[in-house]
Structure 1
Amino acid sequence: MSPERFKRINQMLDNRQTDLTVCLDKVHKTNNIAAVIRTADAVGIHQIHAVWPDIEMRVSGNTASGSQQWVKTIKHYHMDEAAAQFKAAGMQILATNFSENAVDFRDIDYTKPTVVIMGNERDGVSEEGLAIADQQIIIPMIGMVQSLNVSVASALVMYEAQRQRAEAGMYGQRTLDDAYCQTMLFEQGHPVYAKACRRKKIPYPAIDEKGQIVADETWWQRMRAPDPDAEPEA
């Protein structure tokens, strides 16, 4: 791994916000999922959630984008499964919705542990999603259109959260556990070796402070050994 890539991955890990996320409520269009995940990565969100009740949505969601290697998608069959996780983490639950109870999305304090539920392309946030929300939010619009694309709306909210958190000095302080960081540094810094480890069922090695692999001779011997699953040469 080059020093430049090692530094960049570490900067990403230092800026990840483990208590800020979005929940896609039955959003199934691949281009929208990909755009949301890409924005989540850009603002430092560690993982997102998605409620996909049927297999078709899950298959579609699995093809989101290359950003999946950086932002994990936690999948749920039902909203109550997602709600249990959010509440256990002490998160305030927000839901985008056009209603008299909704407040301007910029009036929310996003420095608190927060999840934002984003509705699907046709129906918006489901009744189940609205029922678990602590607060409904709205993006003010003064034109003729009444709604924004879900990926655009998500981006606006996520960047407002980033703005507030940056002002509060919440970036640059690593909150991820060391085991996860070691895994990311190995998989993203040494992808060929990582692939071989998974194929040969070899445990991942440690990564040192310069981004290099720390392993004993036994590990290297297993790595150099012929792949038992490789097809024989003709």
Structure 2
Amino acid sequence: MPLLPRRFERLKAVLNHRMADLTVLLEEVHKPHNLSAILRSCDAVGVLEAHAVCLEGRLPLFNTTAQGSQKWVPLQRHASAADGLQTLRQQGFRLYGTHLSATAVDYRSCDFTGPTAFVLGAEKWGLSPAAIALVDQAIMIPMSGMVQSLNVSVATATLLFEALRQRQAAGLLPSQGEGVGPERYGRLLFEWAYPEVAAWCRQQGRPYPPLDAEGAISEALPRTVRLRY
């Protein structure tokens, strides 16, 4: 079935507000409910992609809580916390790790308007010593009750929406795709609109065909490929 113009406009509207400079790295957060809820929050805020450190051989699992958000917020996997954090640091992110310590500061006192990565561990164990040693700043969400911490998915949402609030107040929220960059924008838009054709193009080692103003593929493709959309 051809892509409807209104569907194409919806995809563009969402991608226009995505932010490549805001992300999360999850260290061994494996419960499907938590992982799904986190990706749903990422999608709601406008995070372009998320990162995860998983146990060897263990694949991330999602449930209905995600509401399909894993399709729109890809989860990049890393072999270790050191690997993931070093990758993000090389990309220019400042790393904020949720960890109760003498050096932790109230998350509301931090500036999240620049490239920001929130690093969170599993609810039971928290961040590993290796991750704690690599973050730029330990942060905490103050608690007034008997428990010392929030569920990891709730904590992630709290931090992400604070970053969103700060960026909105500073007039830094993207609205026309400037949070992604033109080359990446075009690639992602095609992959969102025509995922099966995009997979075929990658398999063939060929560039994605151009799209017209209404989102239709403006290039003659083999019939077997046309049947995929």
Percentage of matched positions with identical amino acids: 38
**What is the match of residue 3 of structure 1?**
5
Distance 2:141 2:226 in 1: 56
**What is the match of residue 86 of structure 2?**
84
Unaligned 5+ runs, structure 1: 228-234
**What is the match of residue 185 of structure 1?**
189
> In structure 1, the residue corresponding to 2:153 is in which secondary structure?
helix
> In structure 2, the residue corresponding to 1:213 is in which secondary structure?
coil
> In structure 1, the residue corresponding to 2:16 is in which secondary structure?
helix
Which of 95, 103, 106 does residue 104 from structure 1 map onto?
106
**What is the match of residue 210 of structure 1?**
214
1:160-193 deviation per Cα after TM superposition (whole angstroms, max 9, x unaligned): 0011111222221423244443344334334575
Judge conservation of contact 1:185–1:211 (CA < 8 Å) in 2. no
CA shift in 2, pair 1:88/1:146, >3 Å: same
Judge conservation of contact 2:23–2:116 (CA < 8 Å) in 1. yes
1:18-50 deviation per Cα after TM superposition (whole angstroms, max 9, x unaligned): 111111011111110111011001100011111
Which of 119, 125, 128 does residue 126 from structure 1 map onto?
128
Which of 41, 44, 47 does residue 46 from structure 2 map onto?
44
> In structure 1, the residue corresponding to 2:215 is in which secondary structure?
coil
Q: So what's the TM-score if we normalise by structure 1?
A: 0.84
CA shift in 2, pair 1:87/1:193, >3 Å: closer
Q: What are the equivalent positions in structure 2 for 1:50-61 lying under 5 Å apart?
A: 50-56=52-58, 59=59, 61=60
Q: How many residues align?
A: 220
Across the aligned residues of Structure 1 and Structure 2, the Cα RMSD in angstroms comes to 2.5
Q: What are the equivalent positions in structure 2 for 1:63-78 lying under 5 Å apart?
A: 63=62, 65=66, 66-78=68-80
> In structure 1, the residue corresponding to 2:50 is in which secondary structure?
strand
Distance 1:200 1:162 in 2: 37
CA shift in 2, pair 1:134/1:199, >3 Å: closer
Judge conservation of contact 1:182–1:207 (CA < 8 Å) in 2. no
1:54 is displaced (CA, Å) by 2.0
